[in-house]
Amino acid sequence: MAVMAAILPVAMRGISVAITTASTARHKAEAATLAQSKMNELASTYLIMGDTSVVGSSGDFGEAWPNYTWASTASDDAQLGVSQMTLTVTWMERGGQRTYELSTMLQYLDTATGTIQSGL
């Protein structure tokens, strides 16, 4: 009985840590998938449509993903002629705000003039 009393709290703590770690991993995997999907959408809107309004935009992922929100930012590198777009996905987990960031470099080719444009 004494051995059981000593082992049980340790085992329960191990189970608790495993459940917490699994939950964190699931949230990060979901955030990564959502970030990649939204980044593809925003980058294609910018590159294909030339729509620069995607920069500085934000939103959520709809009813299917109610706990996740996103925001985009960008910065230009005039020397290289590219823009870096960063997408940040945010969610609440265990009473704290968690984030996942995904960045990509963009270079827009103006098909009318045949020139490369950056400048988000």
Per residue in 57-111, pLDDT (tens digit) is: 899 999 999 999 999 998 877 677 778 889 999 999 888 999 999 999 887 665 5
Element (H, E) at 75: strand 68-77
This prediction's pTM:
0.74
Q: What is the DSSP letter of 52?
A: G
| pLDDT for residue 15 is more than 80 | yes
Confidence bin at 9 (pLDDT 50/70/90): confident
The distance from CA 113 to its chain's CA centroid, rounded to whole angstroms, is 34
Q: What is the mean pLDDT of residues 29-46?
A: 91
Comparing 38 with 20, the larger pLDDT belongs to 38
